């Protein structure tokens, strides 16, 4: 008998034992000792002391939801329009975007207070289902060069600058599935102190083209370009760029070969500012380059530098065997530029006026439309999608009841014996086996995926094969 059964048995005989006469008590005590295998003295103590109170299951405190469905629906729209930022960044941009949010959604005072009060952890919790739909891809195609390496010093220490102007640069290729021929690259430059990012598209990575693109970026910056740090690719380590930096008084340094952590800032921006937008398709025409540059110089530039906050690492702290990182409060590049006091006052005033005039939601929609035009200029753009008509399946029992017409629709059995080469081709499976590995390399169950789905997945047409961004070929789930 289990302990719970013994307690239940004790509760059932307790009142009867207390009211019974002496002979009846002896009989009840004998039964109790036999059934529960108790010593007689222990059984007497249990029946003579007060009956212990029944302990129910501990009640779990159920906390009601503070933020209703309307608050979360508005939060999802803001999250999508703001390029799906991290929860800390999303909370930081909510007060900055509130004038446009209030105008677009007609917020009540209660809803507005809830949007401003929601914590970053609550945002993570309420948006967790949406975040599970995201996918990531990695990319890289640059090769190290060998020219003038002894003239360009290595930079291996961490950036510790207090003024804007010192930046990292890199090229992102848009070659698609083939690296043959000329195709577009995106020259990406990010400022270390403010996070201000400028991008320029070039057709091919010739040395004069890279220098010309860098000059256009330098003129577009609202502060003086004081230094650049690149990788060891031949598009940067060359005499053209070296002489250009000497003439403009720009400090030119490079990272160690095959050490991407030396250029961690620009590697992050390559993903967030270029790859998530344009995806992995091939762009190799002058029209595509001009269309991409139109996006880089206008809507995308204002949207990322004026409205999207980012976080910066403040310091690192060693706690035992772990490294704890402390970050500054999220700010937009424009806010950091204003706080630095090193920008041109005239251009800074123009930027603040432009920010007041623009609507971030409208900018996000315009970027979406521009990207659709860019995708149409790619050679790898998918052909018009056609869906085959559904085929109604008929079971054997239904066909037997319906008569010979339905029976004729059933597939005929294949004849036994040796098959011909043509029949073997017809009988080949129209699916491939894809093996995926989950966490810790455990082999998952094989999944049958049709060739049509694979073609749609490669072209970005499939619903679940989009790049993790709304401004991309398949959407950001």
Residue 248's domain is classified under what CATH number? 3.30.420.10
- Domain contains 9: yes
Q: What pLDDT is attached to residue 454? A: 61
Cβ-based neighbours of 426, under 8 Å, separated by 6 or more: none
Position with higher pLDDT, 465 vs 363: 363
The residue count of the chain comes to 477
* DSSP per residue, 377-431: TSTTPPPPP--PPP-----HHHHHHH-HHHHHTSPPPPPPSPPPHHHHHHTS-SE
In the beta sheet, which residues pair with residue 168? 190, 229
Q: Which of 22-36, 83-97, 201-215, 419-433 has the lowest mean pLDDT?
A: 419-433
Q: Name the domain count of the chain.
A: 3
* Torsion sign across C-alpha atoms 313, 316, 317, 320: positive
Q: Is the CB of residue 86 less than 8 Å from the CB of residue 94?
A: no
- Mean pLDDT over 49-66 rounds to 71
Provide the pLDDT for residue 167: 92
201 and 84 in a single domain? The answer is no
Per-residue model confidence as pLDDT tens digits over 324-346 = 989 889 999 999 999 988 888 89
Q: What is the mean pLDDT of the chain?
A: 77
In 10 A of CB 151, how many CB atoms?
11
Choose one of 131, 148, 174: the last residue of a domain.
131
Are 361 and 216 members of one domain? yes
- Tell me how far apart the alpha carbons of residues 198 and 187 are, in angstroms, rounded to a whole number: 8
Same domain for 292 and 190: yes
Q: Is residue 428 part of a domain?
A: no
Give the orientation angle of helix 22-36 with respect to helix 3-19, to 10 degrees: 180
| C-beta of residue 248 within 8 angstroms of C-beta of residue 442 | no
pTM across the whole model: 0.63
Domain for residue 391, yes or no?
Answer: no
- Judge if 239 and 196 occupy the same domain: yes
What is the rounded CA–CA span in Å between residue 184 and residue 289? 7
**Residue 280 shares a structural domain with residue 360:** yes
- Give pLDDT, residue 253: 87
Same domain, 218 and 288: yes
Q: Is residue 217 part of a domain?
A: yes
Domain-located, residue 445: no
Please say which residue of 82, 107, 131 terminates a domain. Answer: 131
Mean pLDDT, to the nearest integer, of 11-29? 88
Identify the pLDDT of residue 459. Answer: 65
26 lies in some domain: yes
For residue 387, being part of any structural domain is answered with no
Gap between the Cα atoms of 257 and 344, Å rounded? 36
Same domain? 118 vs 213: no
Residues 121 and 171 in one domain: no
d(CA 437, CA 193): 40
Same domain as 253, residue 351: yes
Q: Where are the alpha helices (DSSP H) in 60-167?
A: 69-81, 87-105, 109-117, 120-126, 128-131
- Say if residue 85 is in the same domain as residue 125: yes
pLDDT exceeds cutoff 90 at 149: no
Q: 350 and 290 share a domain?
A: yes
Residue 476 has pLDDT above 70, yes or no: no
Do 186 and 335 lie in one domain? The reply is yes
- Residue 192: domain span: 166-312+327-376
Task: Please say if the pLDDT value at position 154 is more than 70.
Answer: no
Arithmetic mean of pLDDT, 427-441: 38
pLDDT exceeds cutoff 70 at 93: yes
Mean pLDDT, rounded, for 193-203: 93
Residue in 283, 165, 183 with CA at minimum distance from that of residue 224: 165
Q: Residue 262: inside a domain, yes or no?
A: yes
């Amino acid at each position: 008998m289990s302990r719970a059964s013994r307690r239940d048995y004790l509760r059932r005989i307790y009142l009867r034992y207390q009211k019974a006469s002496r002979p009846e008590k002896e009989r009840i005590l004998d039964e109790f000792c036999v059934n529960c295998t108790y010593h007689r003295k222990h059984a007497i103590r249990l029946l003579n002391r007060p009956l212990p109170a029944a302990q129910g299951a501990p009640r779990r405190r159920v906390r009601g939801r503070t933020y209703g469905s309307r608050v979360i629906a508005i939060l999802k729209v803001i999250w999508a329009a703001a390029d799906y930022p991290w929860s800390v960044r999303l909370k930081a941009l909510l007060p900055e975007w509130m004038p446009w949010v209030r105008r677009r959604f007609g917020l009540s005072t209660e809803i507005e207070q809830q949007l401003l009060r929601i914590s970053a952890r609550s945002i993570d919790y309420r948006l967790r289902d949406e975040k599970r739909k995201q996918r990531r891809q990695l990319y890289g195609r640059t090769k190290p060069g060998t020219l003038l390496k002894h003239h360009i010093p290595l930079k291996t220490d961490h950036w510790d600058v207090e003024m804007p102007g010192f930046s990292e640069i890199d090229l992102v290729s848009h070659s698609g599935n083939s690296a043959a021929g000329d195709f577009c690259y995106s020259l990406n430059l990010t400022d270390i102190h403010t996070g201000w990012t400028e991008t320029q598209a070039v057709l091919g990575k010739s040395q004069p083209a890279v220098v010309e693109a860098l000059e256009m970026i330098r003129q577009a910056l609202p502060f003086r370009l004081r230094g650049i740090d690149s990788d060891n690719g031949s598009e940067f380590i060359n005499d053209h760029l070296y002489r250009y930096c000497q003439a403009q008084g720009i400090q030119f340094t490079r990272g160690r070969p095959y050490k991407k952590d030396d250029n961690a800032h620009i590697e992050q921006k390559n993903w967030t500012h270029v790859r998530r937008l344009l995806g992995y398709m091939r762009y190799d025409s002058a029209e595509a380059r001009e269309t991409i540059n139109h996006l880089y110089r206008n809507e995308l530039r204002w949207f990322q530098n004026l409205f999207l906050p980012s976080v910066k690492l403040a310091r690192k702290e060693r706690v035992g065997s772990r490294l704890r990182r402390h970050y500054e409060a999220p700010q937009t590049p424009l806010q950091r530029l204003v706080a630095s006091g090193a920008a041109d006052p005239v251009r800074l005033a123009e930027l603040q006026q432009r920010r007041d005039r623009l609507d971030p939601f409208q900018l996000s929609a315009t970027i979406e439309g521009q990207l659709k035009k860019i995708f149409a200029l790619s050679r790898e753009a998918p052909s018009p999608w056609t869906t085959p008509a559904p085929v109604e399946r008929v079971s054997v029992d239904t066909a037997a009841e319906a008569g010979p017409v339905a029976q004729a629709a059933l597939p005929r059995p294949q004849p036994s014996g040796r098959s011909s080469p043509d029949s073997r081709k017809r009988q080949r499976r129209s699916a491939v086996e894809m093996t995926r590995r989950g966490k810790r390399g455990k082999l998952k169950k094989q999944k049958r995926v049709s060739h049509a789905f694979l073609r749609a997945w490669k072209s970005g047409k499939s619903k679940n094969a989009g790049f993790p961004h709304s401004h991309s070929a398949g959407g950001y789930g």
